[in-house]
Amino acid sequence: MINGLAALGRSTLKQLAGLGRAFMILIQAVLRPWGPGASPRLLWPEIYSAGVLSLVIVAVSGLFIGMVLALQGYSILVDFGSEQSLGQLVSLTLLRELGPVVTALLFAGRAGSAMTAEIGLMKTTEQLASLSMLGVDPVQRVVAPRFWAGVISMPLLAIVFSAMGIWGGHLVGVDWLGVDAGAFWGNMQASVDFRIDVVNGLIKAFVFGIFVTWIAVYQGMDLIPTAEGISRATTRTVVYGSLAVLALDFFLTAMMFGDY
């Protein structure tokens, strides 16, 4: 009994210590991202790695999801004679929800796990220890550029996703299913508000970017430096990152769209 309690206490302390370390890494990356051996120029290769290399999967996914939304939406709306509202349905669903959320999930899986693996490998091969021996803060050189790359790339990727999705919705709705183009775009424009829908979607993407990237870099820094440790850490990045996105989405949606 006492052993159980002691184990629980130890485990809790361990979790708290982990959370503390994660927080310290975040503060350092945000407040002091540059230093000796760590210049802002390190950001560009990381934006390429996190953002540009994710473009294809995000764009293609967005296209397909937009097309599916139009298909499903049409089949439901046509029963009410309201297929004119298809543009509205597709664009609002994408801008407010699917754009930021699905992009973040894809990002966690593709870019997030890559970051965790890279940092973890550098830890395992003692490159991080070498950096500190050479007087360079590994958080500044390795973590900060990746963190900022994630925060900048996520909203951009979410925009690409939503735009591709709306285009996909148009392709299916207007070109294939025959919804009137004027009605499609006209109703859309009338019901999509820039501030409420587009900007809020961007804010969501920005918040998701912060959390997913934070989890990814922390898992990389904190893992057990073995091959198995890296594998487990990348899995945690994807799982925790995805769960965080979904939970945050609920809270953000409630705050933003709760009171009509």
Binder of other proteins out of 194, 228, 258, 259 (CB under 8 A):
194
Distances (CA, A) of 111 to 57, 133, 182, 190, 245: 11, 29, 39, 36, 15
Nearest of 212, 207, 204 to residue 147 by alpha carbon: 212
State phi, psi for 35 to the nearest 5 degrees. Answer: -175, -170
138 interacts with other proteins by CB under 8 A: no
Q: Pick the binder of other proteins from 106, 159, 207, 216 (CB under 8 A).
A: 159
Q: How far is the CB of 59 from other proteins (least distance, A)?
A: 10
Q: Among residues 51 and 112, whose Cβ is nearest to other proteins?
A: 51
Binding mask 10-49 for other proteins (x = CB under 8 A): --------------------------xx------xx-xx-
3-state secondary structure of 33: coil
Cβ neighbour number for residue 8 with a 10 Å cutoff: 10
Return the number of the residue (25 or 244) whose C-beta is nearest other proteins.
Answer: 25
> CA nearest 140: which of 10, 258, 42, 247?
42
Identity of the amino acid at 126? E
> Site residues for other proteins, window 199-258 (CB under 8 A)?
202
38 phi/psi in degrees, rounded to 5: -140, 95
Q: How many CB atoms lie within 10 A of CB 35?
A: 15
Contact positions with other proteins (CB under 8 A) in 78-117: 80-82, 84-85, 91, 95
> Where do contacts with other proteins occur on this chain (CB under 8 A)?
36-37, 44-45, 47-48, 51-52, 55, 80-82, 84-85, 91, 95, 122, 125-127, 129-130, 132-136, 152-153, 155-157, 159-160, 162-163, 166, 185, 188-194, 197-198, 202
